[in-house]
Amino acid sequence: MATTTDYYCTPELYEIIYSDFTADIPFWVEIAKAARGPVLELCCGTGRVLIPCVEAGVAMEGLDAASAMLDHCRAKLARTGRTAELTVSDMRDFTRPRRYALIVIPFSSFYHNLTRADQIATLRRCREHLAPGGRLMFQVFHPDLRKLLENDGVPRLPKTIPHPEGGTVRVTDTGRADFIEQRLRIQREVEELDPGGAVRARHELQFDFRYLWKPETELLLAAAGFTRFEVQGGFGAARAPVAGENLVWTAWQDS
Amino acid sequence: MTARPDDPPAVVLPSPFDDGAMYDAIFHGFDMDLDFWRAQAKTAGGAVLEAACGTGRVTLPMIEAGADVDGFDLFPAMLARLQARASERGLRVDARVSDLRDFRMPRRYALIAIPFNAFLHNLTQADQLASLTRCREHLLPGGRLVMHVSFFGAAIIAASGGPPELEYETRHPVTGRTLRLYDQRMMDPIEQIQHSINEVHELDERGEVLAMHRSETRVRWIGKPELELLLAAAGFTRWRIDGGFAGQPLRSAEDQMIVFAWADGNR
Protein backbone atom coordinates (compact mmCIF):
# COMPACT_ATOMS: atom_id res chain seq x y z
CA MET A 1 0.00 0.00 0.00
CA ALA A 2 1.27 3.42 -0.95
CA THR A 3 2.04 5.82 1.87
CA THR A 4 2.68 9.54 2.10
CA THR A 5 6.39 8.75 2.26
CA ASP A 6 6.20 6.87 -1.06
CA TYR A 7 4.42 9.87 -2.49
CA TYR A 8 7.61 11.89 -2.15
CA CYS A 9 9.79 9.20 -3.80
CA THR A 10 9.04 10.52 -7.26
CA PRO A 11 10.48 14.06 -7.23
CA GLU A 12 10.44 14.43 -11.03
CA LEU A 13 6.73 13.69 -11.16
CA TYR A 14 6.05 15.86 -8.13
CA GLU A 15 7.66 18.81 -9.87
CA ILE A 16 5.69 18.29 -13.07
CA ILE A 17 2.41 17.95 -11.20
CA TYR A 18 2.92 21.16 -9.25
CA SER A 19 4.72 23.12 -11.97
CA ASP A 20 1.69 25.40 -12.32
CA PHE A 21 1.67 26.42 -8.67
CA THR A 22 3.95 29.44 -8.32
CA ALA A 23 1.61 31.96 -6.68
CA ASP A 24 3.34 31.76 -3.31
CA ILE A 25 6.97 32.00 -4.45
CA PRO A 26 7.38 35.83 -4.60
CA PHE A 27 5.73 36.05 -1.17
CA TRP A 28 8.17 33.62 0.46
CA VAL A 29 11.18 35.19 -1.29
CA GLU A 30 10.27 38.60 0.13
CA ILE A 31 9.67 37.17 3.61
CA ALA A 32 12.99 35.28 3.50
CA LYS A 33 14.93 38.32 2.31
CA ALA A 34 13.47 40.47 5.08
CA ALA A 35 14.57 37.96 7.76
CA ARG A 36 18.22 39.08 7.44
CA GLY A 37 19.63 35.86 8.76
CA PRO A 38 19.65 32.18 8.05
CA VAL A 39 16.21 30.87 7.23
CA LEU A 40 15.07 27.33 7.84
CA GLU A 41 12.44 25.80 5.57
CA LEU A 42 10.67 22.66 6.75
CA CYS A 43 9.39 20.20 4.14
CA CYS A 44 11.43 22.00 1.49
CA GLY A 45 11.10 19.10 -0.96
CA THR A 46 12.73 19.68 -4.35
CA GLY A 47 13.28 23.36 -3.58
CA ARG A 48 10.20 24.84 -5.21
CA VAL A 49 10.40 27.70 -2.68
CA LEU A 50 13.92 27.18 -1.33
CA ILE A 51 15.79 27.60 -4.62
CA PRO A 52 14.18 30.96 -5.54
CA CYS A 53 15.07 32.16 -2.02
CA VAL A 54 18.69 31.01 -2.47
CA GLU A 55 18.78 32.76 -5.85
CA ALA A 56 17.59 35.94 -4.11
CA GLY A 57 20.67 35.75 -1.89
CA VAL A 58 19.13 34.26 1.26
CA ALA A 59 21.14 31.78 3.35
CA MET A 60 18.68 28.91 3.31
CA GLU A 61 18.64 25.65 5.18
CA GLY A 62 16.13 23.00 4.27
CA LEU A 63 14.70 19.94 5.96
CA ASP A 64 12.60 17.23 4.46
CA ALA A 65 11.61 13.72 5.51
CA ALA A 66 12.08 12.39 1.96
CA SER A 67 15.72 11.94 0.92
CA ALA A 68 14.73 11.52 -2.75
CA MET A 69 13.26 15.02 -2.74
CA LEU A 70 16.39 16.51 -1.17
CA ASP A 71 18.66 14.68 -3.63
CA HIS A 72 16.69 16.23 -6.44
CA CYS A 73 16.91 19.66 -4.81
CA ARG A 74 20.67 19.29 -4.32
CA ALA A 75 21.17 18.33 -7.99
CA LYS A 76 19.17 21.34 -9.13
CA LEU A 77 21.20 23.66 -6.91
CA ALA A 78 24.48 22.14 -8.15
CA ARG A 79 23.50 22.81 -11.76
CA THR A 80 23.46 26.54 -11.02
CA GLY A 81 26.50 26.47 -8.77
CA ARG A 82 24.52 27.31 -5.64
CA THR A 83 24.32 25.57 -2.29
CA ALA A 84 22.05 25.25 0.68
CA GLU A 85 22.35 23.06 3.74
CA LEU A 86 19.81 20.28 3.27
CA THR A 87 19.07 17.67 5.92
CA VAL A 88 16.84 14.63 5.95
CA SER A 89 14.67 15.09 9.00
CA ASP A 90 11.15 14.73 10.28
CA MET A 91 9.53 18.05 11.18
CA ARG A 92 8.29 16.55 14.45
CA ASP A 93 11.73 15.91 15.91
CA PHE A 94 14.40 17.85 14.07
CA THR A 95 17.42 19.23 15.92
CA ARG A 96 19.73 21.86 14.46
CA PRO A 97 22.77 23.43 16.09
CA ARG A 98 21.55 27.02 15.63
CA ARG A 99 18.54 29.29 16.12
CA TYR A 100 16.77 31.05 13.26
CA ALA A 101 15.20 34.44 12.68
CA LEU A 102 12.65 32.74 10.47
CA ILE A 103 11.30 29.24 10.00
CA VAL A 104 8.86 28.67 7.14
CA ILE A 105 6.53 25.79 6.23
CA PRO A 106 4.88 26.58 2.87
CA PHE A 107 2.28 24.73 0.79
CA SER A 108 0.15 23.13 3.54
CA SER A 109 2.98 20.77 4.49
CA PHE A 110 2.04 21.29 8.13
CA TYR A 111 -1.05 19.21 7.32
CA HIS A 112 1.14 16.12 7.10
CA ASN A 113 1.06 16.17 10.90
CA LEU A 114 -1.79 13.73 11.36
CA THR A 115 -2.26 13.73 15.14
CA ARG A 116 -2.47 16.36 17.84
CA ALA A 117 0.78 15.03 19.31
CA ASP A 118 2.51 15.43 15.93
CA GLN A 119 1.11 18.93 15.42
CA ILE A 120 2.24 20.13 18.83
CA ALA A 121 5.63 18.40 18.55
CA THR A 122 6.32 20.19 15.25
CA LEU A 123 5.28 23.57 16.62
CA ARG A 124 7.39 23.07 19.76
CA ARG A 125 10.42 22.10 17.67
CA CYS A 126 9.98 25.25 15.65
CA ARG A 127 9.63 27.44 18.73
CA GLU A 128 12.77 25.93 20.27
CA HIS A 129 14.69 26.69 17.07
CA LEU A 130 13.67 30.34 16.84
CA ALA A 131 16.02 33.09 17.96
CA PRO A 132 14.50 35.58 20.43
CA GLY A 133 11.91 37.61 18.52
CA GLY A 134 12.17 35.21 15.57
CA ARG A 135 9.08 33.97 13.83
CA LEU A 136 7.54 30.85 12.41
CA MET A 137 5.41 31.31 9.30
CA PHE A 138 3.35 28.54 7.77
CA GLN A 139 0.73 28.45 5.07
CA VAL A 140 -2.19 26.06 5.06
CA PHE A 141 -5.43 25.95 3.10
CA HIS A 142 -8.57 26.76 5.03
CA PRO A 143 -11.11 23.95 4.55
CA ASP A 144 -13.57 24.63 1.76
CA LEU A 145 -16.81 22.75 2.22
CA ARG A 146 -17.49 22.18 -1.47
CA LYS A 147 -13.99 20.92 -2.12
CA LEU A 148 -14.07 18.65 0.91
CA LEU A 149 -17.35 17.13 -0.20
CA GLU A 150 -15.69 16.17 -3.50
CA ASN A 151 -13.63 13.69 -1.49
CA ASP A 152 -16.35 11.09 -1.70
CA GLY A 153 -14.36 8.09 -2.91
CA VAL A 154 -15.19 8.76 -6.57
CA PRO A 155 -12.28 9.56 -8.92
CA ARG A 156 -12.23 13.22 -9.88
CA LEU A 157 -11.81 14.50 -13.40
CA PRO A 158 -8.18 13.98 -14.41
CA LYS A 159 -5.77 16.86 -14.68
CA THR A 160 -3.33 16.75 -17.61
CA ILE A 161 0.01 18.53 -17.51
CA PRO A 162 2.56 18.70 -20.35
CA HIS A 163 5.66 16.60 -19.71
CA PRO A 164 8.84 18.66 -20.24
CA GLU A 165 10.38 15.80 -22.23
CA GLY A 166 7.34 15.38 -24.47
CA GLY A 167 3.95 13.81 -23.95
CA THR A 168 1.81 14.50 -20.91
CA VAL A 169 1.26 13.51 -17.30
CA ARG A 170 -2.30 12.64 -16.33
CA VAL A 171 -3.27 12.86 -12.65
CA THR A 172 -6.46 11.32 -11.27
CA ASP A 173 -7.22 11.87 -7.59
CA THR A 174 -9.66 9.91 -5.47
CA GLY A 175 -10.20 11.48 -2.09
CA ARG A 176 -11.82 10.35 1.10
CA ALA A 177 -12.56 12.85 3.86
CA ASP A 178 -13.07 12.03 7.51
CA PHE A 179 -14.98 15.05 8.73
CA ILE A 180 -14.76 13.99 12.38
CA GLU A 181 -10.99 13.70 12.62
CA GLN A 182 -10.50 16.28 9.82
CA ARG A 183 -8.43 13.95 7.70
CA LEU A 184 -8.19 13.79 3.97
CA ARG A 185 -6.70 10.80 2.15
CA ILE A 186 -5.90 11.28 -1.51
CA GLN A 187 -5.20 8.27 -3.69
CA ARG A 188 -3.49 9.55 -6.79
CA GLU A 189 -2.99 7.75 -10.07
CA VAL A 190 -0.26 9.31 -12.18
CA GLU A 191 0.08 8.19 -15.80
CA GLU A 192 2.89 9.24 -18.09
CA LEU A 193 1.63 9.40 -21.66
CA ASP A 194 3.71 9.55 -24.82
CA PRO A 195 2.84 12.14 -27.49
CA GLY A 196 0.51 9.63 -29.15
CA GLY A 197 -1.49 9.24 -25.93
CA ALA A 198 -0.29 5.74 -25.01
CA VAL A 199 0.43 5.14 -21.32
CA ARG A 200 4.19 4.82 -20.86
CA ALA A 201 4.23 4.41 -17.07
CA ARG A 202 1.72 4.34 -14.25
CA HIS A 203 2.20 5.20 -10.56
CA GLU A 204 -0.13 4.70 -7.61
CA LEU A 205 0.51 7.22 -4.86
CA GLN A 206 -1.20 8.22 -1.67
CA PHE A 207 -1.00 11.05 0.81
CA ASP A 208 -2.81 12.15 3.94
CA PHE A 209 -3.72 15.58 5.20
CA ARG A 210 -5.08 16.61 8.55
CA TYR A 211 -6.72 19.98 7.96
CA LEU A 212 -7.23 22.66 10.57
CA TRP A 213 -9.82 25.28 11.36
CA LYS A 214 -8.68 28.70 12.52
CA PRO A 215 -9.72 28.56 16.21
CA GLU A 216 -8.20 25.09 16.47
CA THR A 217 -4.90 26.37 15.07
CA GLU A 218 -4.84 29.09 17.73
CA LEU A 219 -5.25 26.45 20.44
CA LEU A 220 -2.41 24.38 18.96
CA LEU A 221 -0.06 27.36 18.86
CA ALA A 222 -0.90 28.16 22.48
CA ALA A 223 -0.43 24.51 23.47
CA ALA A 224 3.04 24.61 21.89
CA GLY A 225 3.96 27.64 23.99
CA PHE A 226 3.50 30.49 21.53
CA THR A 227 2.02 33.57 23.18
CA ARG A 228 1.81 35.86 20.15
CA PHE A 229 0.49 34.88 16.74
CA GLU A 230 -1.66 36.16 13.92
CA VAL A 231 -3.14 34.98 10.66
CA GLN A 232 -3.63 36.60 7.30
CA GLY A 233 -5.44 35.56 4.15
CA GLY A 234 -3.49 34.88 0.97
CA PHE A 235 0.03 35.71 -0.14
CA GLY A 236 -0.22 39.43 -0.71
CA ALA A 237 -0.26 42.34 1.70
CA ALA A 238 -1.88 41.42 5.00
CA ARG A 239 -5.62 41.00 4.70
CA ALA A 240 -8.33 39.24 6.66
CA PRO A 241 -8.61 35.47 6.27
CA VAL A 242 -11.17 34.26 3.75
CA ALA A 243 -12.98 30.94 4.24
CA GLY A 244 -11.78 28.20 1.92
CA GLU A 245 -8.64 30.07 0.83
CA ASN A 246 -5.02 30.02 1.93
CA LEU A 247 -4.12 31.21 5.40
CA VAL A 248 -0.64 32.32 6.40
CA TRP A 249 0.12 32.05 10.12
CA THR A 250 2.88 33.95 11.88
CA ALA A 251 3.93 33.00 15.42
CA TRP A 252 6.66 34.85 17.29
CA GLN A 253 9.20 33.56 19.73
CA ASP A 254 9.24 35.76 22.83
CA SER A 255 11.93 38.44 22.67
CA MET B 1 -22.21 35.05 1.46
CA THR B 2 -21.06 34.77 4.99
CA ALA B 3 -21.77 37.16 7.80
CA ARG B 4 -19.04 38.61 9.91
CA PRO B 5 -19.83 38.08 13.57
CA ASP B 6 -19.19 41.73 14.28
CA ASP B 7 -21.68 42.94 11.68
CA PRO B 8 -24.47 44.71 13.53
CA PRO B 9 -27.82 43.01 12.95
CA ALA B 10 -30.23 44.98 10.80
CA VAL B 11 -32.65 45.21 13.71
CA VAL B 12 -31.98 44.54 17.36
CA LEU B 13 -34.06 41.55 18.32
CA PRO B 14 -34.62 39.92 21.70
CA SER B 15 -32.90 36.71 22.66
CA PRO B 16 -34.96 33.50 22.42
CA PHE B 17 -34.28 33.18 26.14
CA ASP B 18 -36.03 36.41 27.15
CA ASP B 19 -39.43 34.70 27.11
CA GLY B 20 -39.52 31.48 29.14
CA ALA B 21 -43.17 30.76 28.31
CA MET B 22 -42.54 30.95 24.57
CA TYR B 23 -39.42 28.83 24.93
CA ASP B 24 -41.41 26.17 26.73
CA ALA B 25 -44.27 26.33 24.25
CA ILE B 26 -41.78 25.39 21.53
CA PHE B 27 -39.58 22.88 23.32
CA HIS B 28 -42.04 21.25 25.76
CA GLY B 29 -42.10 18.12 23.62
CA PHE B 30 -38.37 17.97 22.98
CA ASP B 31 -37.38 14.93 25.01
CA MET B 32 -34.81 12.97 22.97
CA ASP B 33 -32.16 13.69 25.59
CA LEU B 34 -34.16 13.28 28.81
CA ASP B 35 -33.56 9.55 29.41
CA PHE B 36 -29.85 10.18 28.98
CA TRP B 37 -29.75 13.04 31.48
CA ARG B 38 -31.89 11.16 34.02
CA ALA B 39 -29.49 8.23 33.84
CA GLN B 40 -26.48 10.53 34.15
CA ALA B 41 -27.97 12.22 37.21
CA LYS B 42 -28.90 8.92 38.88
CA THR B 43 -25.41 7.48 38.43
CA ALA B 44 -23.56 10.69 39.34
CA GLY B 45 -22.84 9.48 42.87
CA GLY B 46 -23.36 12.97 44.33
CA ALA B 47 -24.74 16.42 43.72
CA VAL B 48 -25.45 17.59 40.17
CA LEU B 49 -25.07 21.06 38.68
CA GLU B 50 -26.85 21.94 35.49
CA ALA B 51 -25.36 24.89 33.64
CA ALA B 52 -27.71 27.03 31.55
CA CYS B 53 -30.65 25.15 33.07
CA GLY B 54 -33.25 27.50 31.58
CA THR B 55 -36.84 26.68 32.43
CA GLY B 56 -35.89 23.28 33.80
CA ARG B 57 -36.65 21.09 30.78
CA VAL B 58 -33.79 18.82 31.92
CA THR B 59 -33.46 19.98 35.55
CA LEU B 60 -36.87 18.89 36.73
CA PRO B 61 -36.73 15.36 35.24
CA MET B 62 -33.29 14.90 36.88
CA ILE B 63 -34.70 15.97 40.27
CA GLU B 64 -37.71 13.68 39.78
CA ALA B 65 -35.26 10.86 39.06
CA GLY B 66 -33.97 11.35 42.61
CA ALA B 67 -30.91 13.52 42.00
CA ASP B 68 -29.80 16.48 44.12
CA VAL B 69 -29.64 19.18 41.42
CA ASP B 70 -28.58 22.85 41.47
CA GLY B 71 -28.79 25.05 38.42
CA PHE B 72 -27.95 28.44 37.02
CA ASP B 73 -28.84 30.41 33.96
CA LEU B 74 -28.03 33.81 32.49
CA PHE B 75 -31.69 34.70 31.91
CA PRO B 76 -33.93 35.63 34.88
CA ALA B 77 -37.05 35.05 32.74
CA MET B 78 -36.06 31.44 32.23
CA LEU B 79 -35.35 30.89 35.94
CA ALA B 80 -38.67 32.48 36.98
CA ARG B 81 -40.40 29.95 34.80
CA LEU B 82 -38.28 27.13 36.25
CA GLN B 83 -39.28 28.07 39.81
CA ALA B 84 -42.96 28.26 38.85
CA ARG B 85 -42.80 24.84 37.22
CA ALA B 86 -40.90 23.39 40.19
CA SER B 87 -43.56 24.71 42.61
CA GLU B 88 -46.34 23.18 40.50
CA ARG B 89 -44.64 19.83 40.90
CA GLY B 90 -43.84 20.35 44.59
CA LEU B 91 -40.10 20.48 43.94
CA ARG B 92 -37.44 22.81 45.29
CA VAL B 93 -34.35 23.79 43.37
CA ASP B 94 -31.44 26.14 44.06
CA ALA B 95 -31.21 27.93 40.71
CA ARG B 96 -29.51 31.28 40.40
CA VAL B 97 -28.71 33.89 37.79
CA SER B 98 -25.14 33.23 36.76
CA ASP B 99 -22.89 33.28 33.74
CA LEU B 100 -21.22 30.05 32.60
CA ARG B 101 -17.93 31.93 32.27
CA ASP B 102 -17.71 33.07 35.89
CA PHE B 103 -20.22 31.22 38.02
CA ARG B 104 -19.47 30.43 41.66
CA MET B 105 -21.62 27.90 43.48
CA PRO B 106 -21.36 27.16 47.20
CA ARG B 107 -20.44 23.51 46.70
CA ARG B 108 -18.71 21.16 44.28
CA TYR B 109 -20.40 18.50 42.20
CA ALA B 110 -20.11 14.89 41.11
CA LEU B 111 -21.68 15.83 37.77
CA ILE B 112 -21.86 19.08 35.87
CA ALA B 113 -24.28 18.87 32.95
CA ILE B 114 -24.40 21.26 29.98
CA PRO B 115 -27.26 19.99 27.78
CA PHE B 116 -28.57 21.03 24.38
CA ASN B 117 -25.71 23.03 22.85
CA ALA B 118 -25.70 25.60 25.65
CA PHE B 119 -21.89 25.55 25.60
CA LEU B 120 -21.95 26.91 22.05
CA HIS B 121 -23.12 30.29 23.36
CA ASN B 122 -19.49 30.91 24.30
CA LEU B 123 -18.48 33.08 21.36
CA THR B 124 -14.76 33.48 22.00
CA GLN B 125 -11.96 31.13 22.88
CA ALA B 126 -11.44 33.04 26.13
CA ASP B 127 -15.10 32.45 27.00
CA GLN B 128 -14.89 28.75 26.11
CA LEU B 129 -11.82 28.28 28.26
CA ALA B 130 -13.22 30.31 31.16
CA SER B 131 -16.40 28.21 31.12
CA LEU B 132 -14.56 24.90 31.03
CA THR B 133 -12.17 26.03 33.75
CA ARG B 134 -15.06 27.11 35.99
CA CYS B 135 -16.69 23.72 35.48
CA ARG B 136 -13.47 21.87 36.28
CA GLU B 137 -13.02 23.89 39.46
CA HIS B 138 -16.54 22.96 40.56
CA LEU B 139 -16.03 19.21 40.12
CA LEU B 140 -15.47 16.94 43.09
CA PRO B 141 -12.53 14.52 42.84
CA GLY B 142 -13.65 11.85 40.38
CA GLY B 143 -16.51 14.04 39.17
CA ARG B 144 -17.33 14.51 35.50
CA LEU B 145 -18.41 17.22 33.14
CA VAL B 146 -20.94 15.98 30.57
CA MET B 147 -22.07 18.12 27.69
CA HIS B 148 -24.08 17.74 24.53
CA VAL B 149 -22.69 19.64 21.55
CA SER B 150 -23.85 19.14 17.96
CA PHE B 151 -21.03 18.40 15.55
CA PHE B 152 -19.68 21.21 13.37
CA GLY B 153 -20.44 19.48 10.09
CA ALA B 154 -20.93 20.22 6.43
CA ALA B 155 -24.69 20.55 6.81
CA ILE B 156 -24.24 23.33 9.35
CA ILE B 157 -21.90 25.25 7.09
CA ALA B 158 -24.12 24.64 4.04
CA ALA B 159 -27.19 26.03 5.84
CA SER B 160 -25.57 29.45 5.84
CA GLY B 161 -27.02 32.25 3.81
CA GLY B 162 -30.13 30.41 2.68
CA PRO B 163 -33.76 31.35 3.24
CA PRO B 164 -35.37 30.74 6.65
CA GLU B 165 -35.66 27.00 7.22
CA LEU B 166 -38.42 25.25 9.11
CA GLU B 167 -36.47 23.74 11.96
CA TYR B 168 -39.15 22.44 14.27
CA GLU B 169 -42.93 22.20 14.43
CA THR B 170 -45.04 21.50 17.46
CA ARG B 171 -48.40 22.30 19.07
CA HIS B 172 -48.79 24.95 21.71
CA PRO B 173 -49.39 22.96 24.91
CA VAL B 174 -52.11 25.39 26.10
CA THR B 175 -53.82 26.76 22.99
CA GLY B 176 -53.26 23.72 20.79
CA ARG B 177 -52.18 25.99 17.95
CA THR B 178 -49.43 24.97 15.55
CA LEU B 179 -46.08 26.59 16.29
CA ARG B 180 -43.40 26.66 13.65
CA LEU B 181 -39.80 27.59 14.40
CA TYR B 182 -37.92 29.02 11.43
CA ASP B 183 -34.21 29.63 11.50
CA GLN B 184 -32.23 31.77 9.08
CA ARG B 185 -28.53 31.29 9.48
CA MET B 186 -25.44 33.19 8.50
CA MET B 187 -22.17 31.42 9.15
CA ASP B 188 -18.67 32.80 9.39
CA PRO B 189 -16.58 29.65 8.73
CA ILE B 190 -13.35 31.38 9.78
CA GLU B 191 -14.53 32.07 13.33
CA GLN B 192 -17.15 29.28 13.23
CA ILE B 193 -19.75 31.72 14.47
CA GLN B 194 -23.33 31.40 13.30
CA HIS B 195 -25.79 34.24 13.57
CA SER B 196 -29.40 33.05 13.52
CA ILE B 197 -32.61 34.96 13.10
CA ASN B 198 -35.37 32.85 14.63
CA GLU B 199 -39.05 33.27 13.92
CA VAL B 200 -41.80 31.45 15.74
CA HIS B 201 -45.06 31.48 13.79
CA GLU B 202 -48.27 30.78 15.67
CA LEU B 203 -50.90 29.48 13.23
CA ASP B 204 -54.65 29.34 13.57
CA GLU B 205 -56.72 26.32 12.47
CA ARG B 206 -56.80 27.58 8.86
CA GLY B 207 -53.04 27.90 8.78
CA GLU B 208 -52.98 31.69 8.94
CA VAL B 209 -50.21 33.29 10.93
CA LEU B 210 -51.74 34.75 14.07
CA ALA B 211 -48.58 35.98 15.67
CA MET B 212 -44.88 36.06 14.94
CA HIS B 213 -42.11 36.18 17.53
CA ARG B 214 -38.66 37.12 16.27
CA SER B 215 -35.42 36.67 18.10
CA GLU B 216 -31.77 36.30 17.27
CA THR B 217 -28.89 34.37 18.68
CA ARG B 218 -25.26 33.57 18.00
CA VAL B 219 -23.42 30.33 18.54
CA ARG B 220 -19.85 29.30 17.95
CA TRP B 221 -19.49 25.77 16.56
CA ILE B 222 -16.66 23.48 17.66
CA GLY B 223 -14.91 20.63 15.85
CA LYS B 224 -13.93 17.49 17.70
CA PRO B 225 -10.13 18.00 17.67
CA GLU B 226 -10.70 21.60 18.71
CA LEU B 227 -12.89 20.48 21.59
CA GLU B 228 -10.14 18.15 22.77
CA LEU B 229 -7.62 21.03 22.74
CA LEU B 230 -10.06 23.16 24.74
CA LEU B 231 -10.54 20.44 27.34
CA ALA B 232 -6.78 19.96 27.70
CA ALA B 233 -6.17 23.72 27.92
CA ALA B 234 -8.79 23.98 30.69
CA GLY B 235 -7.03 21.31 32.74
CA PHE B 236 -9.09 18.23 31.98
CA THR B 237 -6.91 15.14 31.84
CA ARG B 238 -9.26 12.53 30.37
CA TRP B 239 -12.29 12.59 28.11
CA ARG B 240 -14.48 10.52 25.87
CA ILE B 241 -16.59 11.84 23.01
CA ASP B 242 -19.54 9.68 21.96
CA GLY B 243 -21.64 10.12 18.84
CA GLY B 244 -25.07 10.09 20.49
CA PHE B 245 -27.06 9.56 23.66
CA ALA B 246 -26.89 5.76 23.41
CA GLY B 247 -23.09 5.68 23.70
CA GLN B 248 -22.50 5.03 19.99
CA PRO B 249 -19.14 6.11 18.54
CA LEU B 250 -18.90 9.46 16.79
CA ARG B 251 -18.87 8.54 13.09
CA SER B 252 -20.95 10.94 11.07
CA ALA B 253 -20.97 14.70 10.75
CA GLU B 254 -24.71 14.52 11.54
CA ASP B 255 -24.02 12.95 14.94
CA GLN B 256 -24.38 14.67 18.28
CA MET B 257 -21.20 14.91 20.34
CA ILE B 258 -21.70 13.72 23.89
CA VAL B 259 -18.63 14.74 25.83
CA PHE B 260 -17.52 13.20 29.14
CA ALA B 261 -14.52 14.88 30.76
CA TRP B 262 -12.66 14.19 34.00
CA ALA B 263 -10.06 16.20 35.87
CA ASP B 264 -7.87 13.67 37.62
CA GLY B 265 -5.91 16.44 39.32
CA ASN B 266 -8.96 17.59 41.33
CA ARG B 267 -8.56 16.96 45.04
For the whole model, what pTM was predicted?
A: 0.94
- CATH number reported for the structural domain that contains residue B62 in this entry: 3.40.50.150
Interface predicted TM-score (ipTM):
0.94
Indicate if B25 and B146 belong to the same structural domain.
yes
Tell me if A243 and B233 make a contact (CB, 8 A cut-off): no
Indicate if B45 and B70 belong to the same structural domain.
yes
Indicate if B99 and B191 belong to the same structural domain.
no
Indicate if B94 and B112 belong to the same structural domain.
yes
The burial of A98, by beta-carbon neighbours within 10 Å (0-12 exposed, 13-18 middle, 19 or more buried), is given as: exposed
Query: In sequence order, what are the beta bridge partners of A40?
Result: A61, A103
Nearest to B229 among A220, A242, A243 (CB): A220
Nearest to B223 among A145, A148, A182 (CB): A182
The minimum CA-CA distance between B98 and chain A, rounded to whole Å, is 26
Look at residue B7 and tell me if it is in a domain. Answer: no
Indicate if B145 and B231 belong to the same structural domain.
yes
Indicate if A42 and A159 belong to the same structural domain.
no
Measured between beta carbons, the chain B residues lying within 8 angstroms of A118 are none
Tell me if B229 and A116 make a contact (CB, 8 A cut-off): yes
Indicate if A157 and A230 belong to the same structural domain.
no
**What pLDDT sits at residue B109?**
98
Tell me if A142 and B189 make a contact (CB, 8 A cut-off): yes
Indicate if B216 and B229 belong to the same structural domain.
no
Distance between the two ends of chain A, CA-based, in angstroms? 46
| Cα dist from B134 to B99, B102, B147, B191, B230, whole Å | 10, 7, 14, 23, 13
pLDDT tens digits along A133-159:
999 999 999 998 888 888 999 999 999
- CATH number reported for the structural domain that contains residue A9 in this entry: 3.40.50.150
> Do residues B239 and B231 make contact, with C-beta atoms less than 8 angstroms apart?
yes
Q: List per-residue pLDDT tens for chain B, 267 residues long.
A: 344 444 544 557 889 899 999 999 999 889 999 999 999 999 999 999 999 999 999 999 999 999 999 999 999 999 999 999 999 999 999 999 999 999 999 999 999 999 999 999 999 999 999 999 999 999 999 999 999 999 887 777 777 888 999 999 999 999 999 999 999 999 999 999 999 999 999 999 999 999 999 999 999 999 999 999 999 999 999 999 999 999 999 998 888 999 999 999 888
Residue A170, domain extent: 145-210
Taking the CA of residue B179 as centre, how many other CA atoms within 13 Å lie in the half-sphere pointing to its CB? 22
Nearest to B189 among A179, A220, A243 (CB): A243
Indicate if A64 and A152 belong to the same structural domain.
no
Indicate if B29 and B63 belong to the same structural domain.
yes
For chain B positions 136-165, those within 8 Å of chain A (CB to CB) are 151-154, 157-158
Closest CA to A155 of A176, A172, A178, A177: A172
Residue of A nearest to B223 (CA): A180
Nearest to B223 among A149, A216, A218 (CB): A216
Closest CA to B152 of B251, B241, B253, B226: B253
pLDDT tens digits along A100-111:
999 999 999 999
Closest CA to B147 of B232, B259, B33: B259
Across A83-166, the runs of DSSP E, i.e. the strands, are 85-88, 100-105, 130-141, 159-162
Distance of alpha carbon B6 from alpha carbon A136, whole angstroms = 29
Tell me if A219 and B253 make a contact (CB, 8 A cut-off): no
Indicate if B162 and B203 belong to the same structural domain.
yes
Containing A6, the helix (H) or strand (E) segment is: helix A4-7
Distance of alpha carbon A129 from alpha carbon A109, whole angstroms = 18
Residue B168, domain extent: 154-220
**What pLDDT sits at residue A77?**
97
Domain count across chain A: 2
Indicate if A109 and A28 belong to the same structural domain.
yes
Indicate if A191 and A165 belong to the same structural domain.
yes
Indicate if A53 and A168 belong to the same structural domain.
no
B209-218 as b/e: b if 16+ CB within 10 A: eeeebebbbb
Look at residue B4 and tell me if it is in a domain. Answer: no
Indicate if B48 and B175 belong to the same structural domain.
no
Distance between the two ends of chain B, CA-based, in angstroms? 49
What are the helix and strand counts (H, E) for chain A?
Answer: 8, 11
Taking the CA of residue A116 as centre, how many other CA atoms within 13 Å lie in the half-sphere pointing to its CB? 15
- CATH number reported for the structural domain that contains residue A151 in this entry: 2.20.25
